[in-house]
Structure 1
Amino acid sequence: MDQHIAESIGRPDLVRLDDGLVCLRFETMKVVSALAAVRHLLDTGAVRRGDTLLDSSSGIYAYALALACHRHGMRCHIVGSTTVDRTLRTQLAVLGATLERMEPCSDLKLDQKRRVERIHEILAEHPEYHWMRQYHDDIHYLGYRAVADRIREATGATGLTLVGGVGSGASTGALARYLREGSEGPDDVELVGVQPYGSVTFGSEHVADPEIIIAGIGSSIPFGNVAHELYDTLHWISFDAALAGSVDLLRRHAVFAGLSTGAGYLAARHEHGRDPGRTVLFIAADTGHRYADSVYARHREAARLADLAPREVTDRSELDLPWSRMRWNRAPAPFRAAGSGR
């Protein structure tokens, strides 16, 4: 029996959608990393019960950290993006978390920069606070070992392709690392990362998406815990293509998930079509509720997946909307993405 709701929320479902196509569905994925990170900090004496944990978030991590703090008797302070919606703001308030919501900003890079600057101001005022550094600290990898063990038990670690949004690097990077520990050869577990256009992480900052940068899978500033050398293939997917993926996933398989999941599903279907002999597993990081208006209400606009295919490129200068694919071959980080260090 679970001792706290966070433990239940963090446990994913494995759903076979088709022969060789599996969905790893979370209610809120980052609860996995936040719970394990806070437990590790307590066990090592880095923090004590009652201390304040601080971080920046565009939404999902704020909820995850608030739950982890509630579970372990900690205080939680979040510097939030404008994307933190009313429902989440209410949940955070009732959970006892402090949320500082930044002023509206149409420039994601400026929004992220301002949030980091505010973190430093708070630390100067309260040096006793502990900054969780979800984008830079490898402790956020720890919680995914149990998830990797479950994937291995259910699917095996041979002939497995893992697909997911890169984001901070913790989920896809950690799962690939742990799954490869139990594999027999270097190609047993392939890692396919999904990125939005405009993200610096894998060098697409020169291509703008006229809609938005999909929250949670890319960044306009360097992230220190993305292990670029773990990734075999990259897909860059626009908002419109991800919308089509999200709508098709709900219509075809009744899975109601976020926009990043729609992008991952699109990439996973393509990878499965290229090599039907492999098992392709894609990550659904959250539910679709916060995308009800911005994505699902526009379901009649969604393109048919049969009309979508990636542009195959060999160099990032060739990237183009709405969807591009490139073999990364476990190469190191692009120069502009290597600024933070793991």
Structure 2
Amino acid sequence: MILDKIKNNHSIIDAIGDTPLIHLHKMFLDSKINFYGKLEAANPSGSLKDRTSAFILQNALEEGKIRPGDTVIESSSGNMALGLAQACLYLKLKLIVVVDPHINKHTEKLLLAYGAKIEYVTKPSKKGGFLAARLDKVQELLKAIPNSFWTNQYGNPDNPLAHHKTIEEIMIALEGDVDYIFVSASTCGTLMGYADYILENNLKTKLIAVDAKGSVLFGGEAKKRLIPGHGAAVPSQFLRKERIYDYLAVSDLDCIEGCWSLLKSEGILCGGSTGGVVTAIKNYIAKIDDSSNCVFLLCDKGERYLDTIYNPDWIQVNFPDYKSIENSEIGW
């Protein structure tokens, strides 16, 4: 029976992971390279951060660091917050999310629907910008609220550990024959989870990090960025540059162009960090041998960016010198 092949999930938490790996044929039509997208947007709350959220919370519960009824606190630009909101609701934990003015309005509405409490930071720190200000607020809340717990996606070792399973799923699907994996960098939890797995298993896979221009992760000064979900204004606690084969930096406009190219060529609607990776691959493709197998993450759902990335009026306002993306060619 067909039903026998369907995974029986006992909870919404069990539905996290085992996401599809999609062979992408149309994105780079002139290339002989094999491209695969890991559809992390298929996770229950819509992003790869479902894995991080559930893994950290379940381990904290098992280790007695939190109990049902306690308060979880996190700073997040969006996807981690949503992953936590869903998991906390199911696990009977309270959640406070610290956000800044860059929060996506759609994400904000989803958080409120899940029952999360939102704390707003309105002024950036002189050093570290809004991220540093959010982290300061987290510490303030931890001191003020009894039985509170910081999931700390920025420094909790369970963050990279959560993504060992993701890369394991990729390796199983392609029987270990993976030449390149491109990963967007922010906390660097996903990136270093992959890097550690590659090292521990002595794999041939080359890991390429994709950072945002205006991020400090790979050096340089923090600058204003419009596209959330990648890059950082403070250094990562996880990043080990010697374990990364190479890295590229992409602009906000690169992210937008990559999103539209992915949508028009493959019919996949994803968020800004995924678009950045698509453009990074375009810029790196000349260095990749024909017939190589390249994987990247389709990190999150694009519906949250309908008012920005997928809104031509918003693009025109923020990038007035850019031609109308609606009329651009499909793919590259």
Extract unaligned runs of 5+ from structure 2: 1-7, 26-32, 42-46, 316-322
**In structure 1, what is the equivalent of residue 264 of structure 2?**
251
Aligned equivalent of 1:283, options 294, 297, 301: 297
Q: Tell me which amino acid in the other structure corresponds to 1:24.
A: K
CA distance in 2, matches of 1:86, 1:241: 22
**CA apart distance, 1:104:** 6.8
| TM-score where L is the length of structure 2 | 0.82
Taking structure 1 as reference, are residues 143 and 220 closer, same or farther at Cα in structure 2, changes over 3 Å only?
same
**CA apart distance, 1:11:** 4.3
**In structure 1, what is the equivalent of residue 241 of structure 2?**
228
User: Could you report, residue by residue, the CA deviation over 1:41-64 in whole angstroms, capped at 9, with x for unpaired residues?
Assistant: 111222222221111111111111
Q: Is the 8 A contact 1:32 1:144 kept in 2?
A: yes
User: Could you report, residue by residue, the CA deviation over 1:21-79 in whole angstroms, capped at 9, with x for unpaired residues?
Assistant: 01112121101011011111111222222221111111111111111212322211111
**In structure 1, what is the equivalent of residue 319 of structure 2?**
none
**In structure 1, what is the equivalent of residue 274 of structure 2?**
261
Q: Is the 8 A contact 2:125 2:133 kept in 1?
A: no
Taking structure 1 as reference, are residues 105 and 45 closer, same or farther at Cα in structure 2, changes over 3 Å only?
closer
**In structure 1, what is the equivalent of residue 219 of structure 2?**
203
CA distance in 1, matches of 2:175, 2:48: 22
**CA apart distance, 1:87:** 3.0
CA distance in 2, matches of 1:110, 1:251: 35
For the aligned residue pairs, the C-alpha RMSD in angstroms reads 2.5
Taking structure 1 as reference, are residues 181 and 45 closer, same or farther at Cα in structure 2, changes over 3 Å only?
same
**CA apart distance, 1:177:** 2.0
**In structure 2, what is the equivalent of residue 37 of structure 1?**
56
Which shifted more, 87-96 or 40-49? 87-96
1:301 corresponds to 2:324 = yes
- Would you say how many aligned residue pairs link Structure 1 and Structure 2? 301
CA distance in 2, matches of 1:219, 1:182: 29
**In structure 2, what is the equivalent of residue 67 of structure 1?**
86
Taking structure 1 as reference, are residues 297 and 87 closer, same or farther at Cα in structure 2, changes over 3 Å only?
closer
**CA apart distance, 1:107:** 8.8
Query: What SS class does the counterpart of residue 176 from structure 2 fall into?
Result: coil
Which shifted more, 35-44 or 12-21? 12-21
Q: Is the 8 A contact 1:12 1:25 kept in 2?
A: yes
Aligned equivalent of 1:190, options 206, 221, 241: 206
**CA apart distance, 1:304:** 6.5
**CA apart distance, 1:168:** 0.6
CA distance in 1, matches of 2:77, 2:96: 13
Q: Tell me which amino acid in the other structure corresponds to 2:130.
A: D
**CA apart distance, 1:215:** 1.6
Q: Tell me which amino acid in the other structure corresponds to 1:301.
A: S
Q: Tell me which amino acid in the other structure corresponds to 2:304.
A: R
Q: Tell me which amino acid in the other structure corresponds to 2:210.
A: V
Q: Tell me which amino acid in the other structure corresponds to 1:246.
A: C
CA distance in 1, matches of 2:201, 2:177: 9
Query: What SS class does the counterpart of residue 86 from structure 2 fall into?
Result: helix
**CA apart distance, 1:90:** 2.8
Q: Is the 8 A contact 2:22 2:36 kept in 1?
A: yes
**In structure 1, what is the equivalent of residue 23 of structure 2?**
16
Q: Tell me which amino acid in the other structure corresponds to 1:257.
A: C
CA distance in 1, matches of 2:85, 2:71: 11
Q: Is the 8 A contact 2:171 2:178 kept in 1?
A: no
User: Could you report, residue by residue, the CA deviation over 1:187-230 in whole angstroms, capped at 9, with x for unpaired residues?
Assistant: x1111011111111101327x56xx2532211111221223232
Taking structure 1 as reference, are residues 43 and 102 closer, same or farther at Cα in structure 2, changes over 3 Å only?
same
Q: Tell me which amino acid in the other structure corresponds to 1:13.
A: P
Taking structure 1 as reference, are residues 10 and 67 closer, same or farther at Cα in structure 2, changes over 3 Å only?
farther
Which shifted more, 138-147 or 5-14? 5-14
Q: Tell me which amino acid in the other structure corresponds to 2:22.
A: V
